[in-house]
Each structure stands twice: as C-alpha cells, then as structure tokens.
Structure 1
C-alpha cells in the first residue's frame, strides 16, 4: 500500500499568552509524488478557544479532530481531560485503534501532543512540532523561542520555512491559526 506523508505542524505558546499553530500544505504519496500543495492541517475548534493541528493520515486526522471536539464538549472545555479521554478511546476502540495520526492541541492553559498509543504529552517547553519535518521545525522553533523576542506566529512561520528547506515532505505553503 502506498503511504501518504503528511506533514509538519508546529505550535508555540509564549508566556504572555501569545499562541500560534501552523502547518505546511504538502501531502505526499509514496516517496516521490506530491499530491497536494495547499492542504490545511490546522484549525480552530470549540468556539475558537482551542487550536489543533495534525500529522499523519488526513482522513484519520479529520475523524480524530471531530472526536476530540466532542470530548471537549463532554468535559466542558477541559483540554487535558478531553485529551486523556480521546487517547484512551483512540487506543481501545476497535474502529479507531488503527487510525494513524498525531495531534497537537493548545488553548490558553495547555499545550499537548496526543497519539494513538494512548499518550498525552505535555512538553517541557511551550514549543512542539510533529510530522515528517517535525524535528527540523522543533529545533528551529526552540532556538527562536529561547534566543529571540519574536512573537509566536513569527516563530511558527520561520520554523516551518526552515523545515521546508530541509524536509522533502514539507513545503512553504504555510497556514497558521492564532488564539
């Protein structure tokens, strides 16, 4: 089966409450074919109070984003409780167990990564990146976060631009969402 590689997502949460998530637009099939340049993999949910971004299978990620928003509703917007509930459901439910994606979720209080292995990870630093170019974007974002006064959006954009110059599965068609 041909594997789709999708994507690079980066999120930054500055101490002053400046929060941004961004992603590139490339969806690659196999090792050599770019299927789409302008996919949007970040969005606002839960009445504009939560930002999400996904890497992995696009259809799986859409399904998981919808399920996560339902969990947010069930838990009155408590991001951590909704994330843990989704991770448990994702890991244990027969239909969702095989979904292949990672999610970043962020609100004013928390920044988390959710995986299908049942993990909910709260990074040590308010910087995180996932996906094919995630390590490149994370390295750039971490350096910019620690050594500049750039706002969250500038860090996210610059980090994704750097990742796109290194990772063949990441392009410079960047979309961002801010809280």
Structure 2
C-alpha cells in the first residue's frame, strides 16, 4: 500500500489550518457591508452585492455612520498597531473616516484610539495610521470601528470598502 499521497494530503491540510490560524491571530478585518448602519444612516446608504462596498444612494448627501464590532481572539498581549481603511474617494467633496474606539467594560467610558481618513485619489485606496498597541486590551475593554461616509456633492463617488486592524511587521 502506497501511503505517500495520503501523508502528503494530511500534511498539506494541516499546513493550511496552521496558516489560517496564524493569519487570524495577526489581525482583524471587516468588509463595510458587514457593519451595522446607525439608524439615521440607513436611509442614506446602499450596499454593492458585487464588491461589498457601502456608498450613498443616488442623490443623497450628508454624513452616515456604520458600526463595525471587533471580534478578535485576544490572548493577553495585543500586537495590533495599525488602523487601515479601504475606500474609493476620488473627490474633495467626500470622504471615508475610520475611527477606532474602545469602551470600558467596568465604567462604560468611551475613548477614541485612532482616526484615519481616505485620500482623494482615483480608484480604491488603502490609507493607514499607527496607534499604541497597549491601548487595546480586550480583557478590560470592548472595541469597535466607526466608518463615517461624508459627501457634499450628490455626484461624488464615495465608497467604504473595508476596515483592517493589523500589526506592523518590520
């Protein structure tokens, strides 16, 4: 009986499982369509089933917010130190802002840890900012990201695609 192909298949499957776990431990991400719109914002927004992006409905302007809860397997030492937003923002008449917030489990107090704003550029762009990793401790705080879409011109194409928390690896 030739067991070599079976051993290779088992080793390959194990390596995939290990890579998946390691990747998950290195960060968190959320497609914008997975976030929950604030009640007043829902009437302004639409979701692309093709890209998962959230954008303004035709003719709508203003500011809309999405709440993205962070579900992260915390082991006691936080290594996440970068907040990144992926957005389409080709005009000065709109923007996408990602705000990292923590909320105390004991007092309920809220604190902003980092903000990053999309850049006015053609195409989907990633913009990131660093923050102090010790500021997130999931034993004492919950954390979430607020994605805020703004536009003043109804023709401006402003789309929130994704938000990421990751770590800088030199």
TM-score (norm 2): 0.28
Greater C-alpha radius of gyration: 2
Greater per-residue strand proportion:
2
- The two structures have a TM-score, normalised by structure 1, of 0.27
